[in-house]
Amino acid sequence: MQHIIDRFISYVTVDTESDPNSDACPSTEKQWDLANQLVEELKKIGLEEVTIDENAYIMATLPSNVDHEVPTIGFISHFDTSPDFTGANVKPQIVPNYDGGDIVLNKELDIVLSPKYFKDLLQYKGQTIITTDGTTLLGADDKAGITEIVTAMEYLIQHPEIKHGKIRIGFTPDEEIGRGAHLFDVEKFGADWAYTMDGSQIGELEYENFNAAGAKLTFSGKSVHPGYAKGKMINSLLIANKFISKLPKDEVPQKTSGYEGFFHVNHITGTIENTEVQLIIRDHNLKKFEDRKKTIEKIVKKINKKFASKFGGPIVECVIEDQYFNMKQKVEPEMHIVDIAEKAMKELGIKPLIKAIRGGTDGAQLSYMGLPCPNIFAGGHNFHGKYEYVPVESMQKAVEVIVKIAELTAKK
C-alpha cells in the first residue's frame, strides 16, 4: 500500500492545472512536467511502445501473454487538474486508521474535513485517507486514476501467471477544461474498447453522463458620471444580473441530483461598460438539453429587444458551444464491456454502483469518436476543492479491478 501512496504523492505534488483561456494543447506548459515524468516511469516499469506526441498525449502497450485471440482493451486517465481551485504547492496529508471524527486540514486557517458535513467519510473508518492541507485541491481527479493504471500494469508485468490480452493505456491533458479527447488518436490507440479510471467513490461504474455545453455572454453598457447619469447610464453589471435572475432558480447544481439537469453560472467579471458571464448547461436528456440552450437564447432575445432603442443595437451577445454528449447512446450497443467491469467488481467483493455521471469524462467524447469507454471509480471524493480526499484502500481496489478486467477479457 505504501507503494501506491508514494506513487500518488509523486504525481499530485506536480502542478498540472489547465487553463480554459489558453488555445494551446496542453493549455499550460507545466502539464509537460508530469507528462514527461510519466513517460520515463512507463518505460522503467517495462511497458512497450511508450509514446508522447506534440500535444502531450501519452500511450503505451502491455503485450498479450496468451496464444489465442483476445480483444485489445484500454485504460485512460487525465493528468491535468481543475482550474476551479489551485493545484499549486499541493501538500498531501496522510491520515492512517481514520477514526471517524473530524480531520483538521489546516489548524491555522481553521479548515476541517468533517463527517458531519461530508458523510461519505464514515464509509472509510479504519482506512488510510489522503487529504489536502486545506489550501489547495488534492488532484485525485485524476492522478488517482493514473496511479491505479500504472500500478496495475506494473503488477501484471511482475505476475506473468495472470493471463491477459493486449492492453493499451492512455494519459491525456486538459480533460478538466473539456478538451481531453479533442486530439486523442483513437486509430493509433487501437483498442476495441476502453475504460476511463475517473469516477469517484469505490464501486462506481458509469456509462451515462450529461450532455454538456458552455455559454459565454458579453453585456455592453454606457458609462456616465453617476451624478449626471439619469437617462444616460446603462450599467452592464445590472443587465447581467437581470439575465441571471431570469434563469430557473431551482435548476442549479446545489438543488439538483440524479438525472436532473441544471444551469450553472461559474464566472462573472465586469465594469459598467462591459460584463462577461460564463455558465455551463447540463442535462442527461438530449431534448431537455436542447431546450435549455433555447431558454438562454430566449432570455437574451428579450433583453436585446428591451434595450434596442436605448442602446442602439444588441446589448448582449451570446455564444453557446457544445462540449460533449451522453455516452449512453454509444455504449449500450456494447453492453458486454460494462458487464465485464461489473463482474470484475463482484468477484473482488465490491458492490457495483451503476449510475449516471453528473459530469463528464474523456470517455464521453471518446465513445463518440469510435472508442466505447465506460467510467470506473478512481476512489476520490470532493473533487476540485480543498476538501478533496482519497482512501488508499479504494485506490488499491481500483488496481485490482483493472487487473481482473484484463483477466476476464482474456478468458476463452
Positions marked catalytic:
80, 175
Query: What residues are paired with 207 via a beta bridge?
Result: none
Nearest to 142 by CA among 171, 121, 168: 171
Query: What are the b/e assignments for 76-92, b being 16+ CB within 10 Å?
Result: bbbbbbbbebebeebeb
Longest dimension (CA), the chain: 85
In three-state secondary structure terms, 215 is: strand
Q: What's the CA gap between 397 and 359, in Å, rounded?
A: 23
Please give the Cα distance from 186 to 204 (Å, whole number): 25
